[in-house]
Amino acid sequence: FLTGTDRLQMKDLNNMKITFCCPESWNERDPIRALTCFSVLFLPKYSTMETVEEALQEAINNNRGFG
């Protein structure tokens, strides 16, 4: 989801720099978004870890068109 591909090699992971952004204007109903060219992950501020996990699973499982 974050990289725009469904597979990465281990050497790619070692050099990968991920930037996390939590926009103040977003709420937890907003979907997780990514800028795949820059490895930037936009995460709303979630109230619970369970909500974070659910949102991440939804983003990962709805990756049609990537890879």
In a domain, residue 49? The reply is yes
**Domains of the chain: total:** 1
Residue 26: give the domain boundaries.
Answer: 17-61
Active site residues: 37
Tell whether 52 is covered by a domain.
yes
Q: Is residue 4 part of a domain?
A: no
What letter represents residue 6's amino acid? D
What is the spatial distance between Cα 41 and Cα 60, in angstroms, rounded to a whole number? 12
Report if residue 33 sits inside a domain: yes
pLDDT tens track for 8-58: 667 767 777 889 998 888 888 888 888 888 889 999 989 999 999 999 898
> Which residues have CB under 8 Å from 33's CB, separation 6+?
41, 42
Q: pTM of the full predicted structure?
A: 0.68
- The pLDDT score that the predictor gives to residue 49 is 94
* Within a domain: 2: no
In-domain check, residue 53: yes
